[in-house]
Amino acid sequence: MREYGLYIAGEWVGAASGSTFQSFNPYRQQPWATLREASEAEVDAAVRAAQDAYATTWRPMNGAARAEILNRIAALIVENADELARLESTDNGKVIRETRSQMLFVARLFRFYAGYADKIFGSVIPLDQPAIFDFTTREPYGVIGIITAWNSPLSLLANKLPAALAAGNCAVVKPSEHASVTTLEFCKLLEKAGLPAGVVNVVTGGPKVGDAMVKHPGVAKVSFTGSPGVGRIIAATAGQHLKPVTLELGGKSPNIIFEDADLDQATVGALAGIFAATGQTCIAGSRLLVHKRVHDEIVGRLAERAKAIRMGDPLDPATEMGTAANEPQFDRIMAAIDSAKTDGATLVTGGARATGAGLDEGLFIQPTIFSGVTNDMKVAQNEIFGPVLGVIAFETEEEAVAIANGTQYGLASGVWTTDLSRAMRMIPKLNSGVVWVNTYRMVTAQAPFGGVKQSGFGRERGEQGLLEFTTVKNVMIDFSGEKRDPFAVKN
Ligand code: NAD
């Protein structure tokens, strides 16, 4: 058993001195780490440490010096990528071939935002008035409260933290209670990189800890990744405190295959959309819209490949699909499969717990495909966050657009076609924050990412992701030397 405390003001607060909880390895179905449940007083201490660091070290530091530290963090992540990947795969059952590349991407994001740290500009604005000089600056907020989900703890953190730090903010981070280990291990690298104490603090625990962060008057902005249900609670609480929030929430993303698509590419895109990461990804292409003319061909190809997906030890590089990340999630996925059967969808393949050599202990679920799905079924409307695909047949572009937009979500959409005009027609009609054409699940440092509707608001990654952690200050300097009428506004 590993043991972790809280990381506050550059010090480890021992796990044993307060109440604790356990993190489970979903492959072995055994507890493997003991963690500390932070109290309200400890959340307060973490916020105060961040406020102090903001005032005394991080904000006063120039951008180039901040960049140097962020680059050192990136180098240490690369050096420790194998170990971090191993720990994350142990904590949440995601296959090592994905967590390994995720760690390199985490480092990439630190480097990407390090590049911005000394290039955050305002602008000079010409006014109607002569003799007034107007300019803007981009200021950090202060302390950012970061709350993340369990499916990719360090990647989700890296979508937020390096941008926040580059802009001069400090942070209090709360990872999911289901997978906190790598976020805590990461703090050891921050220390090694020379990040001043208190710039990043980590408090662990469940909803109460997150709630205390959102309510804390010292937290100036909240950046959240998680479910729409919790997103709504956080937005409401933040609203009470008039605090800005960024919400990265769930999805029910349509992956649309037209009859003129390259079917080899589209099949790979559909598989990546739903079975990569065991479907436990916000951008899962969980609704596959297929033109009637190629429907049977696509469903046949997908079923064949789905049956051959290699499940097993997440730490084995040959494994293609890992476990459900935790027991409540396993139960939710199985319940969603049952409800699709009850609603009359046609089970093509899967539909049960996966058993057999190397699988019996872990929370494995067969890659599952339903055809004959209509957009009003629960399998088409509710985010499952698991390896469950609903295939919906369509005939016209208009029908595809109506089905694609016909959920409460709007995170991503995929379009597969060799007709450029069709792709260009589809892009403005799809109501989602991301549109992929002839690719799916493509994640880059430069491109902004985020949703519309119940998938949230605000953007991460790219320049937009940086600007989310800054606020604009406008400055006017009157150099006319005139005395003005105190009772008339000057414009
Ligand atoms: P969740 O909403 O249950 O929990 C997320 C985090 O919020 C956890 O750290 C949890 O402890 C905390 N939390 C719970 N209640 C809280 C409260 N009242 N106040 C403050 N914090 C609270 O989500 P999950 O089950 O961990 O993750 C799955 C969800 O995350 C899915 O809906 C998925 O789509 C979404 N997700 C979105 C993205 C994205 O970038 N859009 C990425 C990954 C996951």
Q: Which pLDDT tens digit goes with each residue over 421-442?
A: 999 999 999 999 999 999 999 9
Cα 372 to Cα 290: distance, rounded to the nearest angstrom: 11
473 CA from centroid of ligand 1 (Å): 32
Sheet strands (E) in 151-210:
170-174, 200-202
At 231, give phi and psi (nearest 5°). -55, -40
Task: From the options 3.40.309.10, 1.10.600.10, 3.40.50.261, 3.20.190.10, give the CATH code of 254-437.
Answer: 3.40.309.10
3-state secondary structure of 125: coil
- Is the distance from CB of 243 to CB of 163 less than 8 angstroms? no
Instruction: Give me the pLDDT at residue 18, please.
Output: 78
Distances (CA, A) of 204 to 97, 114, 179: 27, 27, 10
DSSP-based helix, strand, coil % in the chain, nearest 5 = 40, 20, 40
Mind listing the pLDDT tens digit for each residue in 168-190?
999 999 999 999 999 999 999 99
- Average pLDDT on 72-80 reads 98
Reduced to 3 states (helix: H, G, I; strand: E, B; else coil), residue 78 is helix
- Find residue 270's DSSP bridge partners: none
Å from CA of 156 to ligand 1 middle: 11
CA distances (Å), origin 153, targets 202, 214, 396, 442:
13, 19, 40, 18
Q: How many CB atoms lie within 10 A of CB 489?
A: 6
Q: pLDDT tens across 444-468, in order?
A: 999 999 999 999 999 999 999 999 9
- Ligand 1 binding residues, C-beta < 6 A: 147-151, 156, 174, 176-177, 206-207, 210-211, 214, 225-227, 230, 233-234, 248-251, 282, 383, 385, 411
**230, 233, 411: residue to mutate for ligand 1 pocket, most atoms within 8 A of CB:** 230
Please, what sign has the CA dihedral across residues 67, 109, 242, 52? Answer: negative
**Domain spans of the chain, in order of start:** 2-249+451-474, 254-437
355: number of Cβ within 10 Å: 9
pLDDT tens for each residue of 308-323: 999 999 999 999 999 9
Q: How far is the CA of 149 from the centre of ligand 1 (A)?
A: 4
Residue 453: C-alpha distances to residues 87, 224, 409, 415, 437 (Å): 34, 16, 6, 20, 21
Question: Left if phi > 0, otherwise alpha if psi is -120 to 50, otherwise beta: which for 441?
Answer: left
- Domain 2-249+451-474 in CATH 1.50.10.10? The answer is no
C-alpha 166/C-alpha 401 separation (Å) is 39
- Is pLDDT at 17 greater than 70 in this prediction? no
* Per-residue tokens: 71: 């680059």
Model pLDDT, residue 16: 65
Taking Cα atoms as reference points, which of 411, 347, 416 lies closest to residue 377? 347
- pLDDT, one tens digit per residue, over 104-122 is 999 999 999 999 999 999 9
Summarize the confidence of residues 363-368 as an average pLDDT: 97
Over residues 134-160, the mean pLDDT reads 98
Tell me how many degrees the CA angle 437-158-448 measures, rounded to the nearest 5.
35
pLDDT score recorded for residue 242? 97
* Residue 429 CB-density burial (10 A; 0-12 exposed, 13-18 middle, 19+ buried): middle
Q: If 0-12 CB within 10 Å is exposed, 13-18 middle and 19+ buried, where does residue 446 land?
A: exposed
Cβ(466)–Cβ(138) under 8 Å?
no
The pLDDT of residue 230 is above 80: yes
Helix axes 263-275, 292-307, angle to 10 degrees: 50
Cα 43 from Cα 244, distance rounded (Å) = 19
**pTM for the complete prediction?**
0.97
For 109, counting Cβ atoms within 10 Å of its Cβ (0-12 exposed, 13-18 middle, 19+ buried), the class is buried
* The token pair that represents 178 in the structure block: 């289901």
Catalytic residue positions? 248, 282
Judge contact between 45 and 58, C-beta under 8 A: no
Which token pair is 63?
């951008």
Pocket residue to mutate for ligand 1, from 180, 204, 225, most atoms within 8 A of Cβ: 225
| C-alpha dist (Å) from residue 32 to 87, 173, 235 | 10, 22, 33
